[in-house]
Amino acid sequence: MKNVSIALLGCGTVGKGVVDLLAMNGPLIEEQLDTKINIKRVLIRDLNKYEQMEDLPDSIQFTTDFNDIIDDDEIEIVVEVMGSADFAKDCIEQCFLRGKSVISANKDLIADYGIPLLKLSQQHNVDFQFEASVAGGIPIVRPMYSSLNSNRIEEIIGIMNGTTNFILSNMTAHGSSYEDVLKEAQEKGYAEADPTNDVSGYDAARKIAILATLGFHSAVTFNDVHVEGIENIAKEDIEHATEMGYVIKLLAIARQDEDGISLNVHPSFIRKGHPLANVDGAYNAVCVRGNCVGDVMFYGQGAGSLPTASAVVSDVMNVILHRNLQMTGKRGYVWHEAKLKPQADIASPYYIRMIVNNAPGVLAAVSKVLAENNISIRSLIQKDETAEIAEIVILIDKSAAGLVQASLQKIEELSCVRKIANAIRVIEV
């Protein structure tokens, strides 16, 4: 049996998952590869923290100095599970220059530098794989550039952030408070080191940028994604959605047609019967539409220690397989310049909730602004909160985002309107 020495950069939720998975499934993995995987070194920042950690093999050498890893010629594969962008990028580049293949789960980095890093890895004849960077344990990155690559991909739509899905599911099912569920998601290891990246939609935006790059063969980055997070979702929005037969999910949506590409992450109303409506907790799901295969759906755990380690270790196995077959660094990728559609033109129906004065003529004034902008109303409900204040909930037909924003601005200027509380897109797929 052959031997491969690997190093981990990081031993947190995902890194420890890799250690545990190799301990659990080592013989199964070795049998498939005829190769034993030896975690030789692990880079961390605080050695004290790891002294008390349970179930860490004595053979692992912990270090706080990356040079111990880069200078070790026995280490052929480096697994980057630290997070952050600059230091991780620097480490990965150094690995390529020294002939080491890299696996990374770091979507922050890959969403912005995936293409340059892939190019650099090819120049140095090494592999660079990042299955865990999108939707944790779900195999979606490899299908995007491999299993589905005989198709023209038209649409990628999914729930790609476990933390926000955990929060929204618990707020919907149990009426839990946003703060309590976020804390629980952090305790369970779903949330990013800075959970703002989850709740603001940035994490999902990075993931959709990665999938669109691979699926559409287009050079897009995080900055090309229009992003809205879940911070403004109130319990009233969840209650109205439930009453109207919808659930609210944070969706990441990439579409391409002859006019160009649109990339969006935003909270969305989706009908209760839709397959994505039943994806709860930290689970993720990604639906892909190819022009020949039609609709394909991927579902599974989008975050957490062992599910994410499952994707990381399968990448390690892939790299070892390439090495054993002498195919390392041989994959070719093609990217075109992305033609992005203007965000203002992206149309969908909307749910709009506003707080108004409880006075005659308010509905007429609001409806007039919408009509002036050619926006037609599907339904309108007024709920009296007090003698002075009322809440209006409107569903409007499919309308361009720019037109909706302009109308909402005019409505908010009406003296009878106190505030637009929320405007959420309704997804009809």
Ligand X SMILES: NC(=O)C1=CN([C@@H]2O[C@H](COP(=O)(O)OP(=O)(O)OC[C@H]3O[C@@H](n4cnc5c(N)ncnc54)[C@H](OP(=O)(O)O)[C@@H]3O)[C@@H](O)[C@H]2O)C=CC1
Ligand Y SMILES: N[C@@H](CC=O)C(=O)O
How many residues touch ligand Y under the rule CB under 6 A: the total is 11
CB of 128 to ligand X, least distance (A): 15
Site for ligand X in 69-108 (CB under 6 A): 81-84, 87, 105-107
260-271 and 246-257 strand pairing:
antiparallel
11 is in an annotated binding site: yes
The listed partner (ligand Y, ligand X, none) that binds 198, CB under 5 to 8 Å by sort, is ligand Y
Q: Does 368 belong to an annotated binding site?
A: no
Closer to ligand Y at the Cβ: 197 or 218? Answer: 197
Q: Binding site annotation covers 319?
A: no
Q: For residues 161 and 172, which CB has a smaller minimum distance to ligand Y in the complex? A: 161
For ligand X, the binding residue among 6, 7, 15, 214 (CB under 6 A) is 15
Question: 119, 207, 249, 410: which is the annotated catalytic residue?
Answer: 207
Mask for 144-183, x = binds ligand Y (CB under 6 A) = -----------------xxx--------------------
Please select the residue that binds ligand X; options are 4, 6, 7, 11, rule is CB under 6 A: 11
Name which of ligand X, ligand Y, none residue 338 binds, using a CB cut-off of 5 to 8 Å depending on partner kind: none
Cβ-based nearer residue to ligand X, 82 or 248: 82
- x/- site string to ligand X, residues 26 to 65, per CB under 6 A? -----------------xxxx--x----------------
Q: How many residues bind ligand X (CB under 6 A)?
A: 28
User: Judged by CB, which is closer to ligand X: 192, or 237?
Assistant: 192
> Binding to ligand Y by residue 302, rule CB under 6 A?
yes
Task: For residue 13, say whether it is annotated as part of any ligand binding site.
Answer: yes
Answer yes or no: 207 catalytic. yes
Residue 16 annotated as binding site: yes
Catalytic sites, residue numbers: 207
**Residues within the interface to ligand X (CB under 6 A):** 10-15, 43-46, 49, 81-84, 87, 105-107, 132, 136, 189-190, 192-193, 303-304, 308
